[in-house]
Amino acid sequence: MTTQAQLHCLCLLTLYLTTGYGQEGKFSGPLKPMEFSIFEGQEPSQPIFQFKANPPAVTFKLTGETDGIFQIQPDGLLYHNKSLDRETRAVHRLQVSALDAQGNTVEGPVPVTIEVKDINDNRPVFLQQHYEGSVRQNSRPGKPFIYVNATDLDDPATLNGQLIYQIIMQLPKVNNVMYFQINNQTGGISLTPQGSQELDPLKNPSYKLLVSVEDMGGLSEHSFTDSVHVDITVKENIWKPPEPVEIEENSTEPYPVKITQVQWNDPGALYSLVDKENTPRFPFSIDQKGDIYVTQPLDREEKDAYVFYAVARDEQGKSLSIPLKIQVKVKDINDNPPTCPSPVTVLEVQENEQIGSSIGTLTAHDMDEQDTINSVLEYRIVDQTPKVPQDGLFLVQEYSGILQLVVQLLRKWDTPQYNLTIEVSDKDFKTLCFVQINVIDINDQIPIFEKSDYGNLTFPEDTAVGSVILTIQATDADEPHTGSSKILYRITQGDSEGCLEIETDPQTNTGYIKLKKPLDFETVAIHNIVVQAENPEPLVPGVQYNASSSATFRLTVTDVNEAPQFFQQVSEAKVSEAVAKGTKVGNMTAKDPEGLDVSYSLRGDKRGWLRIDPATGEIFSVALLDREAESLYRVQVVATEVGGSYLSSTAQFHLTLMDVNDNPPRLVKEYTGLFFCYPKAPGSLIFEATDDDELTFRGRHFTFSLGSESLQKDWEVSKINGTHARLSTKHTGFEERVYNIPIRIGDGGRPPLERTVSLPVTFCKCVENRCFQPAARMPGIPPVGMAVGILLATFLVIGIILAVMFFRMKRDKGQHNAESAQASETKPLRN
């Protein structure tokens, strides 16, 4: 082989390993349109493709956007003699022609397109050397108030041109709290929630940020960065709630009327009002200057105050900050006359009432605002009917409306009723109210029971509450349907538990004794009840209640068998999940009201963890407990009386299991598809661990190491934080295969636990940062020969089936024809 031929083969080998490749993956062939992709920055004199000439062509010609970089040899070898630069030209469009010995074109020209693929050879650069911005205090967190921008000449469609922004430093940094944040994609700087709440221009009027930008999406150790200073001035917030507004009701001035205003920190805000009270009529509006108007007259008696909110939004409808509270008070005017409590107010006065005694009160109302001059009422008697024995028997206090007897004692036989007309007035209005005063008989008769002893009553203790157990009756000789004859009953003895109550029929004075609370044989079996009958009106001097106004009866309560009663319906206990079998974990007891013995059992012990002593109610563990299976274990305790009717009741037992370190660490998921590109510089992979024990306030703190010391020359495990670690290679001398790397993970608990897990890592060739395997190596895909054999066998089976079906159809047709011929021979002829 000649030296030139050896060089040609070497070039093709270099081409195969490092440089451009055609769309068909071949490196030599006939003259036809081709496309190639070549990484920029490669060494010059790199071959691209070997075109083959067909006679009479003997040489080739290259034209187009060669830029002095691309050349073609007479034998058709296309190559570049300088390094490519994607930022200078991303695509070169060339034409290749085949020429004969006389230089005539015999084939072509055909287009050859060369795409220059990007490498990360340009650092990002900020568009400005220094940025300045301002922000109002209490601005909405997350809304950018300034943007920083950087450019990178690398391809933005690749990782090389993907930029990530971050804030490196904030000065001053009060209490180690970041007041500012940056969108790592757009470079928009905004306030954090803490910054929105705590920024104060009086304390720190300005801040300085150091912002960096990094290419490669911040995912590579070989990325480029740039940084810039950002000076931020903090301005006072003018988005503040206005002072409360006071509006006079029923104003006659033209509407709408401006009452207050709000203003956002920057121009362009869109304002609106929000009525959170959902009032039927919302008489307020706001314009886009922030001026707030009342749109119609207000009525204080309809609603005396309004609270609503002003909202500022941006052009996208997003709220710029918290809404402002607007408070409006409706100022009262005297626009309501006094009103009487009822068409006629009825009062009673006894005929022996002393002079100066209060008869009752006339309470008129005014809907105007209370405790103002508009609602101050004055009372005056303007007429008394009849005027016997004289006029002016009564007096009304000017401001309280209290009526008094002022001249002499009244006598019912003079007149049983007086009618008064009383004028009630405020500073602008007057109203007449009417009062009827009935003169009633004096209370000189006491109630008398129809019988003093109502005998013995017997009821079981489970008698329903509300049941009437006795009807009693007393009478009073005073004037009917007055306070002197009305009877009220009350129990004075024998019901210390408050089990009974008495309702009175106001028309007949009949008393109904009812159960107010359940009877209890075990507490009190016999009640000796004393009932007293009294009037709501006081007795006249010299008259007293005596034995005739009281009655007795004996209430006997009979026993009813009741279920045991727990001292508490829910019992809670805590134990370690590692307690030994047979450990006492709790206790529940119940008492039978009849004094019978109680037997205990469990219900709902679905895991079979517990047992209960049937005699004492003590609860013990009978199996190993597991907090990870169930941290709060709930069962029912059943208490059953022994003997009697075997009644039972239930209560809840809740057992909280406290965690112990009994679960070794494990990988947080099954890691598949981990790979390193082969061959490649040393790289790293990140993995995460967890365990099933309870997470403490300190979090998890795992330790990571290689599971075998023999691997330390090839691999390294480094801890990132308490749950994450990085697996790194120490060299590039690995084979193209799968490595199962044992990783030892410890939890440092008490007791300490560890587990060795396996991480499968594949070394493989990569195409565009993805692991590439030829299709022939993929499991489950047959080779071409086998696929052809399967196809032929399929066709053969189908052919056999069709042949059998055709043969059977032909045979059936022959039999049918023979039968038809035979039938025609025996069938008689017809005319």
pLDDT of residue 147: 97
Lowest mean pLDDT among 3-7, 287-291, 380-384: 3-7
Q: State the residue for tokens 């300490």.
A: 752
* Tokens coding 367: 């809907």
Region 479-508: mean pLDDT is 91
Q: Pairing state of beta strands 28-30 and 46-52?
A: parallel
d(CA 715, CA 139): 50
Tell me: the pLDDT tens digits for 143-163? 899 999 999 998 888 888 999
Select the highest-mean-pLDDT range: 46-55, 144-153, 311-320, 712-721.
144-153
Q: 68-88 burial, b if ≥16 CB within 10 A, otherwise e?
A: ebbebeeebbbbbeeebebee
Q: Where does 272-374 have alpha helices with state H?
A: none
Q: Is 105 helix (H, G, I), strand (E, B) or coil?
A: strand
Region 418-439: mean pLDDT is 95
pLDDT of residue 692: 83
d(CA 789, CA 806): 26
The 8-class DSSP code of residue 812 comes to H
Residue of 371, 358, 440 whose CA lies nearest to 404? 358
d(CA 739, CA 747): 25
Q: Which residues pair with 511 in a beta bridge?
A: 472, 504
Quick check: 10 pLDDT over 80? no
d(CA 32, CA 692): 64
Region 99-112: mean pLDDT is 93
pLDDT of residue 25: 46
pLDDT band at 823 (very low <50, low <70, confident <90, very high): very low
pLDDT band at 289 (very low <50, low <70, confident <90, very high): very high
d(CA 796, CA 513): 104
Sheet containing strand 270-274, strands side by side: 245-248, 324-331, 305-313, 270-274
In this structure, the dihedral spanned by the alpha carbons of residues 465, 466, 467 and 469, taken in order and rounded to 10 degrees, is 100
pLDDT of residue 815: 52
Question: Which has the higher per-residue pLDDT, 430 or 219?
Answer: 430
Region 402-406: mean pLDDT is 93
d(CA 226, CA 228): 7
pLDDT of residue 610: 95
Question: How is 206-232 classified by DSSP, letter by letter?
Answer: EEEEEEEEESGGG--TT--EEEEEEEE
Percent of the chain with pLDDT over 90: 58
Q: Which residues pair with 675 in a beta bridge?
A: 762
pLDDT of residue 517: 92
CB 215 within 8 A of CB 125: no
Quick check: 2 pLDDT over 60? no
d(CA 124, CA 145): 23
Tell me: the pLDDT tens digits for 65-87? 999 999 999 999 999 998 899 88
Q: Is 64 exposed, middle or buried, given 0-12, 13-18 or 19+ CB atoms closer than 10 A?
A: middle
pLDDT of residue 623: 93
pLDDT of residue 219: 86
The tally of CA atoms less than 13 A away on the side-chain side of residue 797 is: 6
Region 603-628: mean pLDDT is 93
- Number of neighbouring beta carbons within 10 Å of residue 519: 24
- The set of residues, in sequence order, having a beta carbon less than 8 Å from that of 430 and lying 6+ positions away, is 337, 338, 423, 424
pLDDT of residue 294: 96
pLDDT of residue 812: 61
pLDDT of residue 667: 92
Quick check: 41 pLDDT over 90? no
End-to-end C-alpha distance for the chain, whole angstroms: 103
CB 665 within 8 A of CB 702: yes
Quick check: 568 pLDDT over 80? yes
Residue of 418, 376, 429, 428 whose CA lies nearest to 395? 418
- Number of neighbouring beta carbons within 10 Å of residue 572: 12
Region 283-309: mean pLDDT is 94
CB 147 within 8 A of CB 187: yes
* Tokens coding 120: 């990360």
Region 171-189: mean pLDDT is 95
Tell me: the pLDDT tens digits for 348-377? 888 778 888 899 999 999 998 888 899 999
pLDDT of residue 820: 45
CB 210 within 8 A of CB 227: yes
Region 248-257: mean pLDDT is 92
Quick check: 120 pLDDT over 70? yes
pLDDT of residue 783: 53
CA-angle at 203, arms to 197 and 206, nearest 5°? 90
- Between the alpha carbon of residue 361 and those of residues 401, 437, 451, the distances in Å are 5, 11, 40
**Bond into 256 cis (ω within 30):** yes
- Number of neighbouring beta carbons within 10 Å of residue 558: 13
What are the start-end ranges of the E strands in 53-104? 59-64, 70-72, 77-80, 91-99
Handedness of CA 590, 592, 598, 603 (dihedral sign): negative
Sheet containing strand 378-385, strands side by side: 345-350, 430-440, 417-425, 378-385
Q: Which residues pair with 190 in a beta bridge?
A: 181
Tell me: the pLDDT tens digits for 783-812? 545 555 677 778 788 878 887 777 777 666
pLDDT of residue 428: 92
* Tokens coding 659: 């965690």
d(CA 472, CA 486): 15
Q: What is the longest distance spanned by two Cα atoms in the chain? A: 157
Quick check: 337 pLDDT over 60? yes
Percent of the chain with pLDDT over 70: 92
CA-angle at 373, arms to 370 and 374, nearest 5°? 70
Select the highest-mean-pLDDT range: 3-17, 328-342, 554-568.
328-342
Quick check: 656 pLDDT over 50? yes
pLDDT of residue 620: 96
* Tokens coding 516: 């107010």
Sheet containing strand 188-191, strands side by side: 146-147, 188-191, 180-182
d(CA 709, CA 702): 19
Amino acid identity at 744: R
Quick check: 299 pLDDT over 70? yes
In this structure, the dihedral spanned by the alpha carbons of residues 91, 92, 97 and 101, taken in order and rounded to 10 degrees, is -150
Q: What is the radius of gyration, based on Cα positions, of the chain?
A: 52
- Number of neighbouring beta carbons within 10 Å of residue 424: 24
Q: Is 352 exposed, middle or buried, given 0-12, 13-18 or 19+ CB atoms closer than 10 A?
A: middle
The tally of CA atoms less than 13 A away on the side-chain side of residue 505 is: 11
Q: Is 453 exposed, middle or buried, given 0-12, 13-18 or 19+ CB atoms closer than 10 A?
A: exposed
- Between the alpha carbon of residue 641 and those of residues 520, 590, 597, the distances in Å are 18, 10, 6
Q: Is 425 exposed, middle or buried, given 0-12, 13-18 or 19+ CB atoms closer than 10 A?
A: middle
- Between the alpha carbon of residue 86 and those of residues 49, 91, 114, 150, 178, the distances in Å are 20, 8, 11, 19, 40
d(CA 655, CA 660): 16
* Tokens coding 657: 């299991």
Q: How many residues comprise the chain?
A: 831
Query: By 3-state DSSP, what share of the chain in percent is helix, strand and coil, each rounded to 5?
Result: 10, 40, 50
Lowest mean pLDDT among 325-334, 394-403, 619-628, 742-751: 742-751
Sheet containing strand 550-558, strands side by side: 453-460, 550-558, 526-534, 488-493
Average pLDDT across the chain, whole number: 87
CB 688 within 8 A of CB 674: no
Q: Is 806 helix (H, G, I), strand (E, B) or coil?
A: helix
Q: Is 763 helix (H, G, I), strand (E, B) or coil?
A: strand
pLDDT of residue 24: 45
pLDDT of residue 228: 96
